[in-house]
Amino acid sequence: MTQAPVTYARQGEIALICIDNPPVNAIGHPVRAGLVVALDQFAADPAARLGVLYCAGRSFIAGADIREFGAPPRAPFLPDVIAQLEALDKPVLAVLHGTALGGGLELALGAHYRLGLPGVKLGLPETTLGIIPGAGGTQRLPRLTGLHPALEIMTSARQVAADEALALGILDALAPGTDPRAAGLEMGGRLLAQDAGPRRVSAMPAPEIDPEALRNLRASVAARFKGQIAQMTAIDVTVSGAGLPFADGIHLERAAFLRLVDSPQRAALVHAFLAERKVAHLPDLQGVSPRAVEQIGVIGGGRMGSGIAVAALLAGLDVTLLERDTASAAAAQASVAQTLEDSVRRGKLTGDARARILSDQFRTTNDYAALSDCDLVIEAVFEDMDTKRAVFTQLDQHCKPGAVLATNTSYLDIAQIAAVTRRPADVLGLHFFSPAHVMRLLEIVVPEGAAPDAVATGFVLGKRLRKVSVRAGVCDGFIGNRILQACRAAADHIVLMGANPYEVDRAITDFGFPMGPYAVQDLAGLDIGFFTRQRKAATRDPREVVARWGDVLHARGWLGRKTGQGYYLYDGPKPRPNPEVEAIIARERAARRISPRDFAPDEIIARYMAALVNEAARVVGEGIAMRPLDVDVTLLHGYGFPRWRGGPLHWADAQGLPVLLHQISGFAREDAYFWQPAPLLADLAARGTSFASLNDPG
């Protein structure tokens, strides 16, 4: 028989209400219903003078039950449970450990006293899901902390450490130890000795409002969360509620919460949240045991290789970095040491930990024999097939049997790289994004014939490095860079027809991307685009329209930020448009006999996003991405797609696939080669279904 998730017991005069709903005590319907019963028992128990509310397991309530996302709400509702708790005539002490987030913290705010255990973290992260706290959080938290600390906690969605929570008044005390039941009994006994009664947060004075500080906060939040609605709604509801009776403030909060629940942004953010949890769950790896990975090798000490090494070191792995000669190895050693020093300066690492990493976990070499004990080796050298094949020839000779050999290539055919080894089943792609110790995306590229346990090892490594790992098949650019090439081509076509690069960038950033395509090219270096065009030139279809002004910029040595000029000039505090670029583009238009026309931002977005979705549909249709959610996660974490739009294929479903297909067909009248509808997009639109239907086909 399954144990109830909420139990009631009593020790002397103290009632013990325990929530045990592993793994994180999510406050789903069974917990809410169980709490109602337990609170009724406490109220009716004449021998119980005080209640202790605590959780079993590793954490207090860590939030909502994700299984209820998108499902119709079921009574009892959390605000009603909290109101029942707060209204009790006998005091209740909540004991918090692990994390108390979202509805978990709101429940604790309904208790009359709050005790924290060491390491507890508290927060109201609802805005990350496009909603606001909906069970009293916007009204109770400010009464404890003051208005502005509460607004900062809610809009940032950050977790508050125990000491800060105590200083802010969220916690009444901190207790030593790790046993919430024992800590609750101890403090409960002291409260009984003091004859403490209920102390309701709802009865405390509303927070004062500083108009100037509020204006500054609004401006800061609006700039930081441009385009999003939950953060500003949280501010509005909290401030308005402070001027109302508590019950009216609760009503205002609930109405706003329910409006946001039905908003497209909430649907998008929940999709992104769930997709990140599904992306590494692959049917073909179920039951497959990964290989052990403790020692890794990295080939190449440039920006990418050094970043990979740092990511591995921070994850506790032993790293040997190989460079071509002694001087290059010394430079790589210095680069890694400096990056770790930057982590110390930012408070992410202690000086002692840095010293220990450099002395015990990390070494550089120029001898492949030093990699003989490595469990996994990642090659991160120049993007050239001959160079990479030469590296893998050496790895095949020196690495132990069973070692996973990985390439960080962004575009190249991994099967051709694997073919130079006697162990192609051990070869896969691990495509990191720069800077590798910061960017969360890791494309795990699986060539045909790769051993399942080698692939599983890649995912285990990604998890250890705290990456969001996405499986990708082999093609030019894999998932992300292949789609990016289509987007850049669409942007170039728009510019050829009359827009300027700065109008395109502005439209894309207004849509929600952090940078437009031309600013991104400047950041990456225009030499990257030049070499990509050169590499593809021999196989390019003559019908393809390719803009050539990038070659002109490259020939002039205008490579973007690293040379001080590219599409933009970098001669001041902010980049500014390079006036000569438009003249270069105008000459190309004239040579092609193109009469330029104006483009509204909406048309720029329509073309850019149609190209993105169309290419993404090809990527899914060809099996390069297993599911649409893999595309969404890739674009969210590697390419800056606005999270509050859910991902490009979630966005496409929201627009309607027939609408997008109709747009593409219209664009095809100008360029039938580029605007060929993806077969999968056409099929889904014809059947009246969605990309989402392919995420959970069972």
CB 225, CB 233: distance < 8 Å: no
Q: Tell me, what's the pLDDT at 696?
A: 81
DSSP 618-652: HHHHTTSSSSHHHHHHHHHHHS---GGG--HHHHH
- Would you say the C-alpha torsion 96, 120, 112, 231 has a positive or negative sign? negative
Query: How far apart (Å, rounded) are the C-alpha atoms in residues 362 and 625?
Result: 35
User: What are the tokens at 308?
Assistant: 């990979």
Cβ distance 578 to 565 under 8 Å?
yes
The first and second tokens of residue 112, run together, are 């009359």
DSSP 3-state of 415: helix
Residue 371 structure tokens? 């990699």
User: 106 catalytic, yes or no?
Assistant: yes
Q: Which residue has the tokens 């019963």?
A: 37
Asked whether 380 and 267 are in contact (CB, 8 A), the reply is: no
CB atoms within 10 A of CB 105: 32
- Cα 633 to Cα 91: distance, rounded to the nearest angstrom: 46
What does DSSP say about strands 576-577 and 173-174: parallel, antiparallel, or unpaired?
unpaired
- Tell me, rounded to whole angstroms, the distance of Cα 609 from its chain centroid: 21
Q: Which pTM was predicted?
A: 0.93
Give the Cα separation of 79 and 102 in Å (integer): 12
Write the single-letter amino acid at 481: N
Bridge partners for 16 per DSSP: 9, 52
Count of CB atoms within 10 A of residue 212's CB? 7
Nearest partner of 508 among 588, 581, 569, 599, judged by Cα: 599
Predicted local confidence at residue 531, as pLDDT:
77
**How many CB atoms neighbour CB 400 within 10 A?**
10
Measured between alpha carbons, how far is residue 47 from residues 53, 191, 559 in Å?
Answer: 17, 16, 78
Q: What domains can be seen in the chain, in order of their start residue?
A: 6-262 (3.90.226.10), 293-472 (3.40.50.720), 480-546+585-694 (1.10.1040.50)
Phi-psi region of 8 (alpha: psi -120 to 50; beta: other; left: phi over 0): beta
Distances from the Cα of 377 to the Cαs of 322, 363, 458, 602, 698, in angstroms?
Answer: 10, 14, 11, 46, 37
Place of tokens 């709903």: 21
Distance CA 159, CA 122 (A): 5
Number of H helices, E strands in the chain: 28, 19
What pLDDT, on a 0 to 100 scale, did the predictor assign at position 697?
A: 62
Three-state secondary structure string covering 275-327:
HHHHCCCCHHHCCCCCCCCCEEEEECCCHHHHHHHHHHHHCCCEEEEECCCHH
Q: Pairing state of beta strands 173-174 and 14-19?
A: unpaired
- As a whole number of angstroms, the distance between CA 417 and CA 60 comes to 49
- The two structure tokens encoding residue 280: 């590494």
Q: Tokens at residue 246, please?
A: 């508590």
The CA distance from 515 to 517, in Å, is 7
Q: What is the residue whose two structure tokens read 């409006």?
A: 259
Name beta bridge partners: 14.
11, 50
Active-site choice (86, 106, 253, 443): 106
**Greatest pairwise CA separation for the chain in angstroms:** 93
Q: Is 290 left (phi over 0), alpha (psi -120 to 50) or beta?
A: beta
Hey, how many other C-beta atoms are within 10 angstroms of the C-beta on 535? 15
Residues of the chain with pLDDT under 70: 1-2, 697-698
Q: Report CA 626 to chain centroid distance, whole Å.
A: 19
Length of the chain, please?
A: 698
In contact, 102 and 63? CB cutoff 8 Å:
yes
CB atoms within 10 A of CB 583: 10
Measured in whole angstroms, the distance separating CA 698 from the mean position of its chain's CA atoms is 26
Looking at residue 500, its amino acid is N
Output the pLDDT for position 504: 98
Nearest C-alpha neighbor of 130 from the set 276, 277, 279, 272: 272
CA angle 248, 250, 254 (to 5 degrees): 120
Angle at which helices 78-87 and 29-44 cross, to 10°? 20
The DSSP secondary-structure symbol of 178 reads S
Burial class (CB in 10 A: 0-12, 13-18, 19+), 555: exposed
Residue 580 a catalytic site member: no
Quote the CA–CA distance of 136 and 150 in Å, as a whole number. 12
Token pair listed for 314: 């921070």
**Residue 379 has what pLDDT?**
98
Range list of H helices, 547-688: 549-555, 579-592, 601-621, 628-638, 648-655, 657-667, 679-687
CA distances (Å), origin 99, targets 95, 175, 183: 11, 15, 16
DSSP code per residue over 350-401 = -HHHHHHIIIIIEEEES-GGGGTT-SEEEE---S-HHHHHHHHHHHHHHSPT
Q: Please give the structure tokens belonging to residue 136.
A: 């009293």
Q: What is the 3-state secondary structure (H, E, C) of 38-66?
A: HHHHHHHCCCCCEEEEEECCCCCCCCCCH
Candidate list 86, 126, 379, 443, residue with the active-site label: 126
Asked if 444 contacts 458 with a C-beta cutoff of 8 angstroms, the reply is: yes
Cis peptide before 501 (omega within 30 of 0): no
Residue 118 to residues 48, 178, 232, Cα–Cα distance (Å)? 28, 7, 33
